[in-house]
Amino acid sequence: QSATHLSHGIPYRPVRKYQNVQKLFVINNLYKSYCLSSRVVTFRVSILRQIIIEIINSDNKWRKNQQHSSLRTRWATSTSLTDALGRVVLAPMTRCRALNGIPQPALAEYYQQRSTHDGFLITEGTLVSNTAAGFPHVPGIYNEEQVEAWKKVVDAVHAKGAIIFCQLWHVGRASHQVYQPGGAPPISSTSKPISNRWRVLLPDGSYGIYPKPRALETYEILDVVEHYRRAASNAIRAGFDGIEIHGAHGYLIDQFLKDGINDRTDEYGGSIDNRCKFLLQVVKAVVAAIGAERVGVRISPAIDHLDATDSDPLGLGLAVIDRLNKLQVELGSKLTYLHVTQPRYTAYGQTESGRPGTEEEETHLIRAFRKAYQGTFICSGGFTRELGMQALAQDEADLISYGRLFISNPDLVMRFKINAPLNKYIRKTFYTQDPVVGYTDYPFLTKGGKDGLSRL
């Protein structure tokens, strides 16, 4: 053996064995072992480090999946009052506190205040691109500075043991040139502007008329789909447990779905199948990027917000649900949930929709959607504690999301649990940039069940 080595001009010496490296690589030849340079050893140790990181990441992903699965099971089997109150969700609500599109420390406090162990939160609408804004100071998730800022918010929520999804949002025509790059007109499925019944909130706090949008060219639509995909990936990098695709309330995706808006003559207009195409492309792209188990979808077939009317809301909703059901079968995996906003009729003390209807019509609509969808079903829109409990008891939803009640009651779940009085929200503070007033200063209950100071 020594002679063999000497014939190559290399004296024979025992070779030190690197035990940590040998766990991954079996060294069968002493000569080859001897020739390993420190660079190769470093490379192999680097490979080992990468493998360990991958194992840790896989374990974290498994734990999150288990957490999602556990929550789904609890949602599906909840029967007691306590369990039912565990099915209260923070609905996404625009609050305009992310200065220049960057989540500020106040956002971390706001969301942590509303977090409970095993609670479920959905963020305010979060912009998927620099053309997506229609309100001042709303957060984005399309650049690195935004991703890094969101990490602190997510960490604050996770510290309380809650799950948080990021709602991906593009307002489409519900914007103004002041929010668009270069002062360009906002994009949409159509060139029809929103009527003067509605006003756009401008950065200086005044209200303006919605301008005429620019209808997207067919070839441009896949670029917008890519914006959603990239935003979803960014959300996961920021630590979010999943995302919700905002396909409701008259914003961009809804502008494709509703026949009262969509007047296209290409493959994205006309039939219900064509009008659903953009939403389905977004869902598929996002699912391919982060997995179906991390994706929720929100729709509002019967809401006429921002002129988003449809001649057949029931038919539209069932068509969307049918396509989502088929997609789930195709994927062999369910989406996290479907989130449906019901019409806010006068019966619920709300008159903002303006769409005429009755409580019976509303109940029929929601029950039809609930029955049709094969997965977890979230319902929102004007619910009180009692109406939410009733909807859960009658199996009209798996979860109920609350918006404005959560604004003024950060401990809403506890207040519901003991049937405590609720703080009244102050509407004029909804869309200001104050990081405290009307945002993080609403009082919590004290141990005696009375209102105390704002605190985490």
CA distance 389 to 369: 19
In the residue annotation, 251 being an active-site residue is answered as yes
CA 117 to chain centre: 19
Distinct helix (H) and strand (E) counts, the chain: 16, 12
**Which long-range contacts (C-beta less than 8 Å, at least 24 apart) are formed by 144-152?**
145/102, 146/101, 146/102, 146/103, 146/234, 147/234, 147/237, 147/238, 148/238, 149/102, 149/103, 149/104, 150/103, 150/235, 150/238, 150/239, 150/240, 151/238, 151/239, 152/103, 152/105, 152/108
With CA atoms as reference, report the closest residue to 318 among 267, 254, 353, 273.
Answer: 273
- φ, ψ for residue 125, nearest 5 deg: -55, 130
Count of alpha carbons within 13 Å of 406, Cβ hemisphere only? 30
Active-site choice (251, 268, 345, 442): 251
Count of alpha carbons within 13 Å of 358, Cβ hemisphere only? 3
Catalytic residue positions, numbered? 251
